[in-house]
């Protein structure tokens, strides 16, 4: 990866009059902003359909797109909606927060109007879309139709015959729920149609998309329901052990994620075909893929199903280079980033080295005043990605107020921070000037926002994933200032004007 920089911002956090950021005008405007700011990358969070808790890391499908991100104004321009059918709906009262309840209450009824108008009109294009995505689309559409049929209960609470996917039950429900199946197929057609236009425009402007691949999939997902043999489930398709991380300095109970664990023996037997298909689906969306919780490929924390916390568990060996080697050789033309954060051991460090993937360095973790840190910029090698902070961290100005005062004092001394420059700008300078080939910062950090703009607080079950950028919140001179810094530190090139004749 060449020396460059980018901005981390969830698509859902873009401004929009319809409750949530979408693939519409604001997304294109942000691409234009990134280009003017000398950035090469837009890093986003997973864009799959979300469920209870609204986390993009607990998606109903590892392949599908989030219906909420479909832009309604573009559907109007395409003749699929009338203004009166969506502009007078209450999508939430606070332009700085996403109201997921309001979205859930009304978004699908609006998308159904579009689907009813478009299904026949787009019949040929939809048929081609179904053919191109037959590996997952029909299972997902049936899964979603069944969730509606069973009052949105998780699939493991459905009637036994369809919970266990008995063939006669699948056939019966496929016929019974034909209309809803068609709806969810068409919604995915709309999402990927808009996504392709969005991604093509980004590429035209020289902007690549960095996406995130959660290490685990949600228990209540089409992925687990459709292929339970790939997971550690019992004869009734209930988990045997679930995912999490053990207690640490930050959380005495650990973090109980609850995702089902993979049956790595079963996956090895078919050459990790499940993972190959999964990454191929991600390549359909992204240019660079950040692999979440990379350390679990070496060893992962397995918690007995039913435990109330992650205190009780065991370390289990992961697939290691057996899987990583398959993915990097199969997708030789795709770039990966290893999210190598958390409790790391010499074996994890060895796996990262053997993989050849760039790891992550987070500046908010660098300034522990008690001991030297590998995240300090002077310790970097070029083949890494430096982050000011990730979506799981506080914005820099909130970190300044919340962190240990001794750590902040160390950061100020190390980077020469001062009031004239501004605390957040000094941290950003430290990352941009480092030898790391890629530097990423949250947009909130360039804006100097505080705790109100935090995306996620790990271990806190509610109030996350809601922050939105308000219309006009990006100052007119910000792109120029960002471009100047990117140019000074060799992360962008300036196009010379053509000579006059």
392 catalytic, yes or no? yes
Catalytic one of 99, 280, 292, 307:
292
Q: 207-266 pLDDT, tens per residue?
A: 999 999 999 999 999 999 999 999 999 999 999 999 999 988 768 889 899 999 999 999
Regions of the chain where pLDDT drops below 70: 250, 495-501
Return the pLDDT at 501: 66
CA distance 480 to 429: 15
Catalytic one of 116, 280, 307, 392:
392
Return the pLDDT at 495: 66
- Domains of the chain, with CATH numbers? 4-62+190-488 (3.20.20.80)
H/E element, 386: strand 384-387
160 catalytic, yes or no? no
Contact 411/427 with Cβ under 8 angstroms?
Answer: yes
Question: What is the DSSP-derived secondary structure letter of residue 497?
Answer: P
Return the pLDDT at 372: 75
Return the pLDDT at 458: 87
Contact 433/489 with Cβ under 8 angstroms?
Answer: yes
Catalytic one of 339, 364, 407, 445:
339
Contact 373/366 with Cβ under 8 angstroms?
Answer: yes
CA distance 371 to 368: 6
DSSP conformation letters of 462-477 = SS-S-B-PPTT-S-TT
Return the pLDDT at 451: 96
pTM of the model: 0.96
CA distance 314 to 53: 27
Return the pLDDT at 52: 84
339 catalytic, yes or no? yes
């Amino acid at each position: 990866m060449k020396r460059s920089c980018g901005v981390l911002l969830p698509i859902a956090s873009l401004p929009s009059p319809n409750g949530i950021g979408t693939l519409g005008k604001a997304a294109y405007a942000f691409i234009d902003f990134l280009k003017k700011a000398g950035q090469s990358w837009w890093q986003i969070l997973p864009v799959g359909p979300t469920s209870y808790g609204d986390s993009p890391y607990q998606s109903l499908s590892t392949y599908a797109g989030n219906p909420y991100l479909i832009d309604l104004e573009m559907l109007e321009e395409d003749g699929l909606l009338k203004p009166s059918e969506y502009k007078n709906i209450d999508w939430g009262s606070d332009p700085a927060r996403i109201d997921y309840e309001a979205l859930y209450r009304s978004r699908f009824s609006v998308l159904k109007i579009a689907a009813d108008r478009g299904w026949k009109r787009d019949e040929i294009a939809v048929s081609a879309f179904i053919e191109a995505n037959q590996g997952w689309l029909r299972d997902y559409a049936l899964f979603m139709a069944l969730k509606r049929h069973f009052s949105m209960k998780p699939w493991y609470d459905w009637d036994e015959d369809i919970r266990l996917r008995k063939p006669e039950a699948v056939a019966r429900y496929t016929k019974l729920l034909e209309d809803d199946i068609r709806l969810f197929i068409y919604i995915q057609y709309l999402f990927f149609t808009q996504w392709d236009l969005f991604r093509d425009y980004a590429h035209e402007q020289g902007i690549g998309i960095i996406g995130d691949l959660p290490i685990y999939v949600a228990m209540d997902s089409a992925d687990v329901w459709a292929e339970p043999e790939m997971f550690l489930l019992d004869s009734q398709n209930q988990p045997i052990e679930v995912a999490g991380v053990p207690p640490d300095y930050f959380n005495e109970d650990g973090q109980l994620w609850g995702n089902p664990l993979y049956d790595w023996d079963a996956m090895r037997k078919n050459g990790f075909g499940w993972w190959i298909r999964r990454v191929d689906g991600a390549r359909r969306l992204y240019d660079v893929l950040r692999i979440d919780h990379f350390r679990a490929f070496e060893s992962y924390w397995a918690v007995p199903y039913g435990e109330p916390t992650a205190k009780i568990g065991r370390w289990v060996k992961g697939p290691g280079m057996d899987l990583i080697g398959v993915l990097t050789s199969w997708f030789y033309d795709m770039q990966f980033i290893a999210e190598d954060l958390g409790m790391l051991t010499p074996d994890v460090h060895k796996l990262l080295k053997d993989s050849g993937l760039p790891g992550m360095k987070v500046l908010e973790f660098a300034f522990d005043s008690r001991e030297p840190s590998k995240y300090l910029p002077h310790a970097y090698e070029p083949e890494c990605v430096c982050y000011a902070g990730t979506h799981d961290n506080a914005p820099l100005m909130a970190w300044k107020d919340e962190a240990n005062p001794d750590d902040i004092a160390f950061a100020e001394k190390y980077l020469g921070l001062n009031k004239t420059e501004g605390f957040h700008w000094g941290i950003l300078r430290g990352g941009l000037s480092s030898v790391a080939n890629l530097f990423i910062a949250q947009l909130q950090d360039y804006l100097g926002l505080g705790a109100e703009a935090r995306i996620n607080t790990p271990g806190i079950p509610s109030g996350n994933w809601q922050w939105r950028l308000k219309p006009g919140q990006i100052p007119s001179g910000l792109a120029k200032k960002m471009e100047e810094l990117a140019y000074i530190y060799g992360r962008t090139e300036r196009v010379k004007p053509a000579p006059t004749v």
